[in-house]
Structure 1
Amino acid sequence: MDKIFAQIEKVVQRFDELNELISDPDVISNSDRYTKYLKELAEITPVVNDYQNYQKIRKQIEEDRELLSDKEMAPLVKDELSDLETRERNLQEKIKIALMPKDPNDDKNIIMEIRGAAGGDEANLFAGDLLNMYSRYAQSQGWDFQIVDHTEGEAGGFKEVVANISGSKVYSKLKFESGTHRVQRVPVTETQGRIHTSTATVAVMPEYEDVNTDDLIDPKDVREDVYRSSGAGGQHINKTSSAVRLVHIPTGIKVEMQDQRSQQQNRAKAWQILRSRIYDHFAQENRQQYDQDRRTKIGTGDRSERIRTYNFPQNRVTDHRINLTLNKLDKVIDGDLEEIIDALIIADQTKRLEEMI
């Protein structure tokens, strides 16, 4: 805990500094600075309160342990000491988690891409099932879920679908969904009742809408093509060139958008997705690292690659990264993802805590 104590002491020092700053007339008169300091103070106050409680409990534990040598007092303090030691351990874990480095993207909205992979029509149908699952989960969280582009499969579902999900801490909860999702079930087209295995890939990228793309993207490096919509747009189909394709020439990243009603709306959405994909690209050290990470992130879609398996005949879902199996696939596919997502977050926190100590 020595490293943790060193960190928390710095936080306490900053806590005292902020309390002085928000009492300074010069700061109070500057609304931007005052709001900034208030926000920072609100963020660190809970962990400072926990640390203060931790210190009080530690002091009480020391006093109780001294009383254990007293035969008359020992029976009276044993139960209290056990309770205090449990509270001490819980606060230690809580403080360590609070001090872990925050993912700067956790509060961001996301762009989610779902693609049918191995399995033909069944893979596309499964991609549609995943889309519905995430849509229902987003609804349960009070998030806004909007499909911004899609290519439908011939037998239903989607060859590819892109959604914009916005709300509170969207990326922090859905960032572990990236990868290959495998389904085992009897397809509706199967006449002999045989179970087939198919896959769909999911990619989750933080939305970088608030970043000035001129800092990273030279408009001269982006080729824009306009063409007639082929799927959405109602009366606009084949009458106006409302669809937009953007190609970032240095990276080859391409975005096509035709789901919006006008060329202007399609262009805005295309740029929104392009920003996220390019920032996702340049977040890596170089092109080779990016390609390797993206393959690790979403896989090739091969059946042998998977982060999670959805077994319909046995109503079972298994997340292979944390060896979690739940026998309630019907609820999960209906959007009840909280137990899986919480387990993934805890596993990630546990791993990072081990690295801190």
Structure 2
Amino acid sequence: MFDKLGVLEEKFEDLNMRVSDPEIISDQSTWQKLMKEVSDLEPIVSKYREYKQTKEDIEAAKEILETSSDEEFRELAKMELSEKEADMENIQSELKILMLPKDPNDDKNVIVEIRGGAGGDEAALFAGVLFRMYSMYASARRWKVELLSSNETGIGGYKEVVFMINGKGAYSRLKFESGVHRVQRVPDTESSGRIHTSTATVAVLPEVEDVEVELNMNDVRVDVFRSSGNGGQSVNTTDSAVRLTHAPTGIVISMQDEKSQLKNKEKAFKILRAKLYDIELEKSQKAMAQERKSQVGTGDRSERIRTYNYPQGRVSDHRINMTLYKLEQFVNGDMDEMIDALITTDQTDKMQSI
């Protein structure tokens, strides 16, 4: 591992020289590509340099203990050695994590699809709670949320809502949210105080470029029709809505939120490409998860992953047996503690399989 780290440090230094070259700076496309490489390598090289410095400090402290007869000096060296050896353990663990193969999708924007599941109106309301939760989480990280399509119930819920989150690292933070989310609470309409259980399904798809998905246009039927519901006169009186049907998979995407047929078509194809990419991603994730018996990132979109229990004020993630008694904060976007734990578990699984 350390031989490879030395090579990466040399590459990092070379890249830093190249991005300062006026000729390369004048070619913005090349410069941006090189700057991304610099950005990707910086945390690894920084941690490797910290490792080398700590190693030198340990050797210096050991030398003092071997050669010095000054008791006060030796005592200081013992303390230094103890601290630096503890630091070294942490640094080596962090280096192993940094050296894990990077998920190529981690830096991408995401398309999130939430569907109300079992539970009727309560499920639709819960889908609305989840939409708000992810929107607030994104807002706290200064990511942009763009609504792509929605099917509202009229009581504040959603049968389905699809939205995009634009922000660096969005997929890396949200990729473990895919699955079935369950809510247990007493509905406002329940006079006897009986707890109801409802579900909503979340799918988190990385945004993909056209070149990343092979899409045969002969496989896609495009239908246009008049929009229904809110949206103003022009939406309801022109054939602005678009429906795509992908014959090989049976995927159907309907889009009518925009006044422009062209914009609706563009958004629909964006979602279709993401769904087709996700099918292949799910296959590869399942294969990898079986190999390393992963607790998270199994690729199973039908897996029940989390329960939100309102009477007890708790949220429990079943994949990592983690329960937080701060449900209100969690659904208001305070999700980092659980997301960090999921990422750590995934990294531990990967390290054990190396």
What's the TM-score once normalised by structure 1's chain length?
A: 0.87
Task: Determine if the alignment matches structure 1 residue 56 to structure 2 residue 53.
Answer: yes
Task: Determine if the alignment matches structure 1 residue 298 to structure 2 residue 301.
Answer: yes
SS at 2:148 equivalent? strand
In structure 2, the residue matched to 1:247 is: 245
1:225-253 alpha-carbon deviations (Å, 9 max, x no partner) = 11121223221354222111001112211
CA, structure 1 residues 111+46, in 2 after alignment: closer, same or farther (shift >3 Å)? closer
* Counterparts of residues 234-313 of structure 1 (less than 5 Å): 234-236=232-234, 238-283=236-281, 297-299=300-302, 306-313=304-311
CA, structure 1 residues 93+156, in 2 after alignment: closer, same or farther (shift >3 Å)? same
1:170-203 alpha-carbon deviations (Å, 9 max, x no partner) = 1111111111111111012212100111111100
Report if the CA contact (8 A) 2:116-2:200 is conserved: yes
SS at 2:57 equivalent? helix
CA, structure 1 residues 336+22, in 2 after alignment: closer, same or farther (shift >3 Å)? closer
Q: Identity of paired residues, percent?
A: 50
Q: Runs ≥4 in structure 1, deviation > 6 angstroms? A: 23-26
Quote the Cα distance in structure 1 between the aligned partners of 2:24 and 2:60: 43
Quote the Cα distance in structure 2 between the aligned partners of 1:154 and 1:92: 54
CA, structure 1 residues 316+30, in 2 after alignment: closer, same or farther (shift >3 Å)? closer
CA, structure 1 residues 147+20, in 2 after alignment: closer, same or farther (shift >3 Å)? closer
Report if the CA contact (8 A) 2:283-2:299 is conserved: no
Quote the Cα distance in structure 2 between the aligned partners of 1:338 and 1:281: 27
* Counterparts of residues 1-357 of structure 1 (less than 5 Å): 4-19=1-16, 21=18, 32-69=29-66, 72=71, 73-153=73-153, 155-208=155-208, 210-212=209-211, 216-236=214-234, 238-283=236-281, 297-299=300-302, 306-356=304-354
Question: Cα distance, 1:39 vs. partner?
Answer: 3.5
Question: Cα distance, 1:320 vs. partner?
Answer: 1.4
Q: Structure 1 counterpart of 2:202, which letter?
A: V
Quote the Cα distance in structure 2 between the aligned partners of 1:319 and 1:41: 36
Report if the CA contact (8 A) 2:282-2:299 is conserved: no
1:5-56 alpha-carbon deviations (Å, 9 max, x no partner) = 2331331232344356557787567554444334323432332232123122
Q: Structure 1 counterpart of 2:211, which letter?
A: N
Q: Structure 1 counterpart of 2:315, which letter?
A: V
Quote the Cα distance in structure 2 between the aligned partners of 1:153 and 1:33: 49
CA, structure 1 residues 111+238, in 2 after alignment: closer, same or farther (shift >3 Å)? same
RMSD after superposition:
2.7
Q: Structure 1 counterpart of 2:177, which letter?
A: E
Gaps of 5+ in 2: 291-296
Q: Structure 1 counterpart of 2:210, which letter?
A: V
Larger deviation: 44-53 or 190-199?
Answer: 44-53
SS at 1:232 equivalent? coil
CA, structure 1 residues 255+54, in 2 after alignment: closer, same or farther (shift >3 Å)? same
Report if the CA contact (8 A) 2:282-2:300 is conserved: no
Larger deviation: 63-72 or 45-54?
Answer: 63-72
1:323-348 alpha-carbon deviations (Å, 9 max, x no partner) = 22111111111121122212222222
In structure 2, the residue matched to 1:302 is: none
CA, structure 1 residues 128+20, in 2 after alignment: closer, same or farther (shift >3 Å)? closer
Number of residue pairs matched? 343
Q: Structure 2 counterpart of 1:57, which letter?
A: T
CA, structure 1 residues 22+123, in 2 after alignment: closer, same or farther (shift >3 Å)? closer
Question: Cα distance, 1:57 vs. partner?
Answer: 1.6
In structure 1, the residue matched to 2:294 is: none
Gaps of 5+ in 1: 300-304
Q: Structure 2 counterpart of 1:320, which letter?
A: H
Report if the CA contact (8 A) 1:54-1:88 is conserved: yes
